[in-house]
């Protein structure tokens, strides 16, 4: 047994050793231990000192182990780029897109790993499913990366060279460039690139038209240019005049859009809204009927444009109707802007050449970031430029940068070829769907989309959409004109070709896709409702797809996507390894 004095010496030495063990230069420090400590160590049995030091070392090690996971979690994603470069530098095959994604997501993962994982999982999902949603596309990596930068930090309410904040010179340059690209692309007199979406663009257009045609003339009559100076009585009179104007747009159930006067949308709240539909027999627009309605209603705005109409619109004829009725002619070309940009829709079918105001999104067929644009004649330019404070707050500088990139891409000769291929692919697929015995609305298409009636299969649109999704085909259910199943279950499917055309697919692939759609739909049956008031009737939601047919469909979809991969310059496995 050790004496009391010896025990004290051991404890003292152990503490000293523990302190030194946690220092980076532990060995050097031990050599420079004061003479007193050395003497104490000599008086203490060596075995006891060793045991005490070992015990102290273990305690320190345990503390270090506890801290290590936190450090590793922070460092691992940051090393994802270095790991990728080290693994691939020998082969000489390094994808800049993958490297950029790894760098980007490493920073994201250091803060929110679930977000980084979600991005990678979305890439995996898109690689595993055919995208036939008419309003979706694949934007370039250049467009994507233009959105991920510090331009998002800057407030820039106003327009270039006329802001409500200081320090907007760089935003001015980016926005001005985007405006110039938009005007060049569409041949427009004026362009406003700030809207965050197509819905925003429409609201700005509506209020700009109301301002120019209603509010400003009324203010002139009152002898006051500034509405803030009006009395309460005059202000309410102006509001009543501006807020009860008439809008005549395409019926939602005939292929129009929510923002065109649909009663569940704000557009129907701000206007006395009316709708024109399609001919019940042909499914086509009846211009004579539209003219009759316009002359009777006398709307402030005659609105054209669609989200689910498979034919061209004669915008020259629509402008004639608008002029005759004394209306402003507005077109929402969100769905087919890429076809206008690519010069597929020209002459009487070019909305920019005939409308007073044109709105669009920058994604869909235009293949840019999610956002909007307003184009207009000189008459409405000043009112449109007052989108802030009229409707919007500050614009998104980083998204305007991405719009500028996408518009530059669309101004290239390659884009014309792409736009033409979109329509050719849609025409080809619709013809093969008809050849497969499917019912296609209006007997085909002249643009980027077409509609299939799924009721001959005994299905609702909801069942058909879900069955196809399970087999690797992503599209959306859609109401058909005069649809008895309503907007939730629907009787139809909307199919678009912008995304698969971006992948490089052509006529042969369109034929194969049509065959896959037929395979799935013809082997899907609705379940029977088991209980309740609809017991014994076919379900409108539940269904069963033959397992063998589903397996074959998935295999054929995989073969298509293996030949035409989504974002081929992104190394999915490297991204999964780093973030999933």
Q: Please give the positions annotated as active site.
A: 155, 157, 332, 361, 364, 370
| Nearest Cα residue to 189 out of 352, 377, 23, 17 | 377
Token pair in block for residue 565: 């991969």
Place of tokens 């399609």: 278
The full 3-state SS of 205-268, as one line of letters, equals HHHHHHHHHHHHHHHHHHCCCCHHHCCHHHHHHHHHHHCCCEEEEECHHHCCCHHHCCCCCHHH
- Ramachandran region of residue 369, left (φ > 0), alpha (ψ -120 to 50) or beta? beta
Do 403 and 142 contact (CB within 8 A), yes or no? no
Cα 131 to Cα 376: distance, rounded to the nearest angstrom: 33
Helix (H) or strand (E) holding 176: helix 169-186
Do 123 and 570 contact (CB within 8 A), yes or no? yes
For residue 515, the Cα-to-chain-centroid distance in whole angstroms is: 29
Question: For 61, how many CA atoms within 13 A lie in the half-sphere containing its CB?
Answer: 6
CB atoms within 10 A of CB 82: 11
Radius of gyration of the chain (CA): 33
Backbone angles phi, psi at 192, to 5 degrees: -125, 115
Cα 521 to Cα 128: distance, rounded to the nearest angstrom: 20
Angle, alpha carbons 184-189-191 (nearest 5°)? 75
Do 434 and 440 contact (CB within 8 A), yes or no? yes
- Ramachandran region of residue 577, left (φ > 0), alpha (ψ -120 to 50) or beta? alpha
Q: Fill in the DSSP letter of residue 529.
A: P
What does the DSSP assignment read for 83-150?
HHHHHHTTTT---HHHHHHHHHHHHHHHH-HHHHHHHHHHHHHHHHSEE--TT-----HHHHHHHSSG
Q: Is the peptide bond before 270 cis (omega within 30 degrees of 0)?
A: no
Do 130 and 560 contact (CB within 8 A), yes or no? yes
User: What ranges make up the beta strands (E) of 363-497?
Assistant: 372-376, 439-440, 449-453, 473-474, 476-478, 492-496
Cα 24 to Cα 498: distance, rounded to the nearest angstrom: 60
């Amino acid at each position: 047994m050790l004496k009391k004095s010896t025990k004290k010496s051991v404890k003292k030495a152990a503490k000293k050793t523990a302190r030194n063990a946690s220092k980076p230069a532990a060995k050097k420090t031990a050599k420079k231990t004061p003479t007193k400590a050395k003497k104490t160590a000599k008086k203490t049995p060596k075995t006891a000192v060793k045991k005490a030091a070992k015990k102290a070392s273990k305690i320190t090690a345990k503390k270090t182990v506890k801290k290590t996971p936190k450090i590793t979690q922070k460092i691992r994603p940051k090393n994802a780029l270095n790991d990728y470069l080290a693994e691939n530098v020998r082969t000489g095959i390094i994808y800049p897109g993958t490297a950029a994604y790894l760098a980007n997501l490493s920073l994201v993962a250091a803060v929110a790993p679930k977000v980084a994982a979600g991005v990678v999982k979305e890439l995996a999902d898109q690689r595993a499913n055919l995208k036939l949603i008419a309003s979706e596309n694949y934007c370039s990596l250049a467009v994507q990366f233009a959105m991920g930068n510090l331009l998002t930090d800057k407030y820039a309410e106003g327009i270039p060279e006329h802001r409500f904040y200081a320090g907007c010179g760089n935003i001015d340059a980016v926005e001005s460039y985007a405006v110039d690209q938009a005007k060049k692309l569409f041949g427009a007199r004026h362009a406003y690139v700030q809207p965050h979406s197509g819905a925003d663009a429409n609201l700005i257009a509506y209020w700009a038209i109301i301002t120019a045609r209603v509010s400003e003339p009324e203010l002139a009559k009152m002898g006051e240019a500034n509405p803030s100076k009006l009395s309460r009585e005059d202000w309410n009179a102006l509001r009543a005049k501006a807020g009860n104007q008439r809008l005549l747009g395409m019926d939602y159930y005939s292929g129009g859009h929510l923002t065109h006067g649909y009663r569940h949308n704000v557009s129907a709240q701000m206007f006395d809204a009316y709708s024109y539909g399609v001919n019940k027999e042909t499914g086509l627009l009846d211009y004579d009927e539209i003219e009759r309605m316009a002359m009777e209603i006398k709307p402030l705005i005659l609105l054209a444009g669609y989200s689910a109409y498979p034919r061209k619109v004669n915008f020259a004829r629509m402008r004639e109707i608008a002029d005759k009725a004394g209306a402003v002619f507005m077109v929402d070309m969100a769905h087919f802007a890429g076809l206008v940009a690519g010069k597929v829709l020209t002459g009487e079918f070019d909305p920019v050449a005939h409308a007073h105001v044109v709105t669009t999104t920058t994604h869909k067929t235009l293949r840019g970031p999610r956002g909007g644009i307003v184009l207009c004649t000189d008459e409405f330019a000043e009112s449109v430029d007052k989108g802030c404070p009229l409707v919007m707050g500050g614009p998104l500088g980083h998204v305007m940068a991405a719009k500028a990139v996408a518009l530059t891409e669309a101004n290239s000769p390659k884009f014309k070829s792409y736009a033409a291929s979109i329509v050719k692919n849609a025409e080809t697929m619709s013809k093969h769907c008809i050849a497969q015995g499917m019912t296609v609305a209006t007997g085909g298409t002249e643009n980027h989309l077409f509609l299939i009636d799924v009721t001959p299969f005994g299905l609702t649109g909801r069942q058909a959409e879900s069955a196809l999704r399970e087999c690797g085909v992503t599209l959306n259910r859609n109401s058909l004109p005069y649809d008895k199943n309503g907007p939730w279950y629907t009787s139809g499917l909307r199919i678009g070709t912008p995304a698969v055309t971006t992948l490089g697919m052509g006529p042969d692939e369109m034929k194969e896709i049509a065959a896959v759609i037929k395979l799935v739909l013809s082997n899907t049956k609705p379940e029977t409702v088991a209980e309740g008031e609809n017991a014994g009737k076919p379900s409108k939601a539940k269904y069963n797809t033959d397992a063998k047919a589903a397996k074959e469909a998935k295999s054929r979809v995989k073969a298509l996507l293996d030949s035409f991969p989504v974002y081929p310059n992104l190394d999915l496995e490297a991204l999964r390894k780093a973030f999933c």
